[in-house]
Structure 1
Amino acid sequence: MSDQQREFDVIVYGASGFVGALVARHLAANAPQGARIAIAGRSAERLERLGLDLPIVVADAHDVPALTTMAGRTRVVLTTVGPYAKFGKPLARACAETGTDYVDLTGEVLFARDSIDENHEIARRTGARIVHSCGFDSIPSDIGVHVLHELVRADGAGELTDTTLVVTSMRGGISGGTIDSMRHQIDVMKNDRGLRRIAASPYSLSPDRESEPDLGRQPDMLTLAGSEVDPSLRGHLAPFVMASYNTRVVRRSNALRGWAYGRDFRYREVLSVGTSPAAPVIARVTKAVLSGLVLGFAVPPVRFVLDRLLPAPGTGPDERTRRNGHFTVDIFGVTTTGARYRARVKAQGDPGYAATTVMLSESALALALDRDLLPDSGGGVLTPATAIGDALVTRLRAAGLEVTARKA
């Protein structure tokens, strides 16, 4: 079916959930005039309670015929229904088969790996762009490195080598959906050593692991002095909770582009914990806490306690917290010519909710409305940088995000 024959530009699937409702309301208020937006989920009654003057589509996450029909009605499906490994596979497959573009918020490496294996070749044939991770995971990382690379290329400064994303500042609530995705992934890996190896590999999302350069260990749980990243960077750096996912998305972008960033491109992500005398201790404690959280979910008595302390699925921070949140990430890169470059992605609003709502919405709108501006990558299971690229950069800037790159 051609784009012209499709009834909608974007269908928001899961619109009655916490994040889905935020996205639906944002698009209802901010989508360009004439954009054809619909909302979808398993319950028409719950969708009607949103009070939005938008068409309603009913489809259960496990009803393959209904999902296929829904996908065939729109240019883009935007889905917030997770954990994606539990609920997302039939929808991603339906979009691949019907030539429908797709965006989601997953930070689940095993789901993304399964989607690549199951959907990439199908989507290449149908022209569907299946784009995972279009929120705080992993747009600041993937688009930030994209604009860094584009400037290095324009300057003729060689290729990127050591590149580090530093979460310079961040404020926001904890996502119940993210916690639930972590629980589910730990559950499926617990008794499967092969899945644990996939999750641990730095190239777990790469199209061809055997073609990747051998760059040695690329650990995610890092504690560093800022000066080890860039001479201008003060303070101490701790592990960033989403590094183990975001880094693999960025490496996939590099591989899909024929290693355009560089064959010696080494990428890592860390969190700034400041310059106080206590900062080195805070960095080590952060590392211990993150390691302990993963272990805790695998130990039943500890998990029992964590399940009662951490946010439940379908919940999130209140409006004031979402409004007052923010994030700034700075990406420091060194090139093969010895030049230093720096990119920044910055947004107002809770990273996992307010800012993510904007990033996910603009990703879907770019796919639906900016087709002539998209990279010439064809279909497949792609990344934000390889599927949307500069079209998304333009939309994010227009939506109020700072997305910049400069020579240091």
Structure 2
Amino acid sequence: MSVTKPKVDPYIDIVGLPSPLRRDQRFMFQVSPLRFAAFFAFIPFWLGAIMPLTIFYQVTTRVLRKLGILEPHPRPPLDSGHIKAPETIQPRKDRKYDIVVLGVTGFTGRLAARHLAQKYGAEGKIIKWAIAGRNKAKVEAVRKSLAEELKMPKIVTEIDIIVADTSDPNTMPALVEDTRAVATTAGPYQEYGNTVVEFCAKYGTHYTDITGEVGWVKQMMVQHGETAKSTGAKIVPFCGHDCIPWDLSVMKLQQLLKDEFNDDLKTVKVWDEALMQAPGGTYQTAMLSLSGNGLYPWTAPFVMALINAKIVRWTYALRQQGEKKISYRETQVHRDFMTAFTVYVGTMILGSSLLNPLTKWLAYQFILPLPGNGPSSENLEKTNYLLVTAEGVGTNGNRVESTFYLPKDPGCLETAKMMVEAGLAMALHETNNGEGKGKKELPSGNDGGFFPPAACLGDVLLDRLIDVGIEYKVRTVAKPEPTIKDKEEDVKPKDKDA
């Protein structure tokens, strides 16, 4: 992805806080006039050929399935029927592992294991962890490659492997019974996630993932919510780029307005500045889900804004403070109109192209990474980033502003960190595991069940993320006291027709 360095500083401080992008000299992606012209010329072909082909394919397949000519897409059962007697569940404080990462043979899963090794080591002195997958040989190959890349030979000898196939319920107890938390990147979750949630709920094992599949999570809540409450398992989805930066940002806006001004959060505006790429598995999930001249003057809808809004409101409802509802608005900031238009319309073109077999094949041949692949190391570490700037206004007019900055690739590298740290927050900060004393406690306490990230993990997670390189800054702005002129204006009689 090319990034054009402008002749002038492109950055503005959207709120009163200085932008970290200015400090780090990070330059936004910009579409050149030539590329924009080529893209614009492609739109008639999309409207005249790709869209009709996609509509025809989707309508035809649905009709054929209704008629019984085509078999419906197979779905795994919501519950395997496995029964676990409560008295046989090993207490979490006595379990061998703090966290097990499932899906390490995938691109983001390997990054999660890499983060654990780099941050906490392989000898179990800080964190005791293991890796899991359905193919032992492939998991062993990942373990070996991590040891070689990081020059940490003890990864091979000290990090255990657990064989767990999400399509075989008989292999799932080994994954969940001896760990406090499972962090899984094995998606699409509606295809491979049911048994992981089920067995975590039944064995009282905390769970975290990086899904953005809202419908699937609702199904899991209905199916396993009561079980998780009874066993104390905290099931916390959406713990990656979906949707931690936004969820934590709004939580802090609400918290600080209350603490500083005794004010209630009423409206939230969020501006996203990003340069990022998704791994191959993300496109696979999206496809599955779909088939069911000034500086910064341009904004456009952010691809994940609808998901973020749902999770933010879920957290807000659980906190049960102040206003019953909040107004939430989220947009993505672009340098100019050409870039905003290309990104927005380009997302629609790509989405529709994945919904028929011809253009889907072409997309994976020439544009998209295959599952298991993702951005280059250069893009992961030095080019890609995400800055979430938020402004919250209270019912009394007081204001809080924040920046949540992921300085490395948000969709893969920082996502892996966020998922792992969410799992460790649950594993290490609950008060009944013998290790929570003296540590900041989770806002969810010892309760089990389904939670959004901020409502469950709160400042514990934010502190852990800051410790691994993610930046959070905030400032509060009190509503100015009215001047004498303001007060005089308030008491003046007003025209009834005004």
Residue by residue over 1:141-198, the C-alpha shift from the partner in whole angstroms, topping out at 9 and shown as x without a partner, is 1111111111111023422222122113x223232111111011122x1xxxxxxxxx
Alignment of 1:73-222 (within 5 A): 73-168=178-273, 170-187=274-291, 189=292
Q: Larger radius of gyration, structure 1 or 2? A: 2
Q: How high is the sequence identity, in percent, across the aligned residues?
A: 33
> Which residue identity is paired with 1:296?
S
SS at structure 2 position matched to 1:376:
coil
Contact 2:401 2:474 (C-alpha < 8 Å) held by counterparts: yes
> Which residue identity is paired with 2:253?
L
Residue by residue over 1:233-266, the C-alpha shift from the partner in whole angstroms, topping out at 9 and shown as x without a partner, is 96221111111211111111112223x3632301
SS at structure 2 position matched to 1:332:
strand
Alignment of 1:361-372 (within 5 A): 361-372=420-431
Contact 1:239 1:283 (C-alpha < 8 Å) held by counterparts: no
1:34 aligns with 2:141: no
Structure number with greater CO (CA < 8 Å, separation at least 6) is 1
> Which residue identity is paired with 1:269?
E
TM-score (norm 1): 0.83
Give structure 1 stretches of 5+ with no counterpart.
Answer: 190-224, 227-232
Residue by residue over 1:4-48, the C-alpha shift from the partner in whole angstroms, topping out at 9 and shown as x without a partner, is 321211011112222111111211221273321011111221121
User: In the alignment, which residue of structure 2 is the partner of 1:239?
Assistant: 301
> Which residue identity is paired with 1:317?
P
Contact 2:298 2:337 (C-alpha < 8 Å) held by counterparts: yes
Alignment of 1:264-275 (within 5 A): 264-274=325-335
Deviation at 1:331, TM superposition (A): 0.9
Tell me, in whole angstroms, the C-alpha distance in 2 between the residues paired with 1:184 and 1:58. 26
Tell me, in whole angstroms, the C-alpha distance in 1 between the residues paired with 2:224 and 2:390. 31
Tell me, in whole angstroms, the C-alpha distance in 2 between the residues paired with 1:115 and 1:245. 17
Contact 1:347 1:402 (C-alpha < 8 Å) held by counterparts: yes
Alignment of 1:15-26 (within 5 A): 15-26=104-115
Tell me, in whole angstroms, the C-alpha distance in 2 between the residues paired with 1:320 and 1:234. 26
Tell me, in whole angstroms, the C-alpha distance in 1 between the residues paired with 2:334 and 2:262. 31
User: In the alignment, which residue of structure 2 is the partner of 1:341?
Assistant: 400
Residue by residue over 1:373-408, the C-alpha shift from the partner in whole angstroms, topping out at 9 and shown as x without a partner, is 111351111111011111101111111211232224
Contact 1:375 1:386 (C-alpha < 8 Å) held by counterparts: yes
Alignment of 1:259-298 (within 5 A): 260=321, 262-274=323-335, 279-298=336-355
> Which is worse superposed, 26-35 or 147-156?
26-35
User: In the alignment, which residue of structure 2 is the partner of 1:323?
Assistant: 381
Tell me, in whole angstroms, the C-alpha distance in 2 between the residues paired with 1:300 and 1:162. 43
Residue by residue over 1:115-163, the C-alpha shift from the partner in whole angstroms, topping out at 9 and shown as x without a partner, is 2222222211111110111111111011111111111110234222221
Deviation at 1:286, TM superposition (A): 3.3
Change (3 A) 1:235 1:405: same
Match of 1:375 among 401, 418, 443: 443
Would you say how many aligned residue pairs link Structure 1 and Structure 2? 360
TM-score (norm 2): 0.69
Residue by residue over 1:190-245, the C-alpha shift from the partner in whole angstroms, topping out at 9 and shown as x without a partner, is xxxxxxxxxxxxxxxxxxxxxxxxxxxxxxxxxxx99xxxxxx9622111111121
1:311 aligns with 2:369: yes
1:397 aligns with 2:397: no
Deviation at 1:291, TM superposition (A): 3.0
> Which residue identity is paired with 2:284?
D
* Stretches (4+) displaced over 6 A: none
SS at structure 1 position matched to 2:98:
strand
Tell me, in whole angstroms, the C-alpha distance in 1 between the residues paired with 2:322 and 2:297. 28
Deviation at 1:83, TM superposition (A): 0.6
SS at structure 2 position matched to 1:352:
coil
1:68 aligns with 2:126: no
SS at structure 1 position matched to 2:166:
coil
Provide the alpha-carbon RMSD of the alignment.
Answer: 2.1
Tell me, in whole angstroms, the C-alpha distance in 1 between the residues paired with 2:117 and 2:168. 27
Tell me, in whole angstroms, the C-alpha distance in 2 between the residues paired with 1:400 and 1:142. 18
User: In the alignment, which residue of structure 2 is the partner of 1:359?
Assistant: 418
SS at structure 1 position matched to 2:198:
helix
